[in-house]
Amino acid sequence: MTHNRAFLKIFQFVTFFMMLLALYAIFVYAPVEKSMGIVQKIFYLHVPSAFLAFFAFFITFIASILYLYKRNHRWDMIAFSSAEIGVIFCTIVLITGPIWAKPIWNVWWTWDPRLTTTLILWFIYVVYLMLRRVAGENQRSTFSAVFGIFGFINVPITFLAIRLWRTIHPLVITGKGISISTPMTHTLIIASVAFFLLFLLLLINRIVLEKMRFKVEEIRAFIEDKIHLEHEKQGG
Amino acid sequence: MAGTLYLFAAFGITWLIIFIYIFSISRRQKTLERQIEKISKTLGDHS
């Protein structure tokens, strides 16, 4: 337990340091883009958040399959925790996108394929989280695992939307590489690593929280069973 | 100037969302820790 706490402290420190480094890279090292100006720097928040939302939903997808296969509650905890963090990052994408779009496209929102599929993706995982709240205790894990698997279908659709359909959303990363300058690429990498560490830190803490909740539920069920048995004994 | 405003709005909102989420996790962890402590104490008193 002490080792885990020490590891978490070091991990927190490394994440904090990487965040500071990312801010330095974004505001000092990365050049100002010529046509869009300073607002283009939103890119360094928007793109890593989008990648992490996709990655989080991928973890939910894999953990959901493993839950259905092994019926081990640990996988359900991981799937749920990852989906919740995925929704947080997807929310960031859906907020930073329109803030970037307004000065560039002159509109906050347009029903572009990438934007629309991202919004649908966000709704799917919000429904996933709501489903967990309303589903009965016995069915909750199974229902959400099935939902977590089918919900993931929208992730590749969202990712490929700018490649499959005509869109005004920029395509920065292609099969040929990244179509931005070297300092911008370095900044994107640093920001992505910093956000990835933040994602892992949030995921670890969220799983710890879910384990604690599970433990409390188990103890409660145990006490309720004991009380029930004692009542039955007294009755008999 | 307008660009700077949009940029800081995006950064401000992003960090606000992340901090609110971290705060929510921490608050939920503390509530559960208190519950576990309370249950352990109750079980200790009964045994």
pLDDT for B46: 64
Q: Which domain holds residue A21?
A: 2-30+41-205
Q: State pLDDT tens for residues A4-39.
A: 778 888 999 999 999 999 999 999 999 988 888 899
pLDDT for A118: 95
pLDDT for B1: 64
Q: State pLDDT tens for residues A187-234.
A: 999 999 999 999 999 999 999 999 988 888 888 888 888 888 888 888
The phi, psi pair for A173, rounded to 5°, reads -100, 115
Answer whether A29's CB lies under 8 Å from A183's CB. Answer: yes
Q: Which of residues 1-47 of B touch A (CB under 8 A)?
A: 2-4, 6-7, 9-11, 13-14, 17-18, 21-22, 25, 28-29, 32-33, 35-36, 39, 43
Cα–Cα distance list, A39 to A19, A30, A32, A200, B1 (Å): 19, 12, 9, 28, 10
Answer whether B3's CB lies under 8 Å from A37's CB. Answer: yes
> Would residue A60 count as lying in a domain?
yes
Answer whether A93's CB lies under 8 Å from A46's CB. Answer: yes
> Would residue A74 count as lying in a domain?
yes
The residues that bridge with A37 in the sheet, in sequence order, are: A33
C-alpha triplet A163, A112, A178: angle, nearest 5°: 40
pLDDT for A45: 94
The phi, psi pair for A35, rounded to 5°, reads -85, -40
Answer whether A205's CB lies under 8 Å from B32's CB. Answer: no
CATH number of the CATH domain containing A71: 1.20.120
> Would residue A95 count as lying in a domain?
yes
| DSSP tag of A174 | E
Numbered residues of chain A with Cβ closer than 8 Å to any chain B Cβ: 36-39, 41-42, 45-46, 49, 88, 91-92, 95-96, 99-100, 102-103, 198, 202, 205-206, 208-209, 212-213, 215-216, 219-220, 223
| DSSP tag of A170 | -
State the ipTM, two decimals: 0.88
> Would residue A217 count as lying in a domain?
no
Round to whole Å and give the CA distance between A147 and A158.
17
> Would residue A104 count as lying in a domain?
yes
pLDDT surpassing 80 at residue B32: yes
Query: Which of the given ranges, A157-161, A214-218, B11-15, has the highest pLDDT on average?
Result: B11-15
Q: Which residues have C-beta within 8 Å of that of residue A77, sequence separation ≥ 6?
A: A207, A210, A211, A214
Which two tokens mark A130? 């709501």
Q: Helix, strand, coil % (nearest 5) of chain A? A: 85, 5, 15
Q: State pLDDT tens for residues A46-81.
A: 999 999 999 999 999 999 999 999 988 899 999 999
Cα–Cα distance list, A234 to A223, A226, A229 (Å): 16, 12, 9
From A160, A158, A180, select the one nearest A36 (Cα to Cα): A180
> Would residue A213 count as lying in a domain?
no
A6 exposure class (CB count in 10 Å sphere: 0-12, 13-18, 19+):
exposed
Instruction: Provide the domain count of chain A.
Output: 1
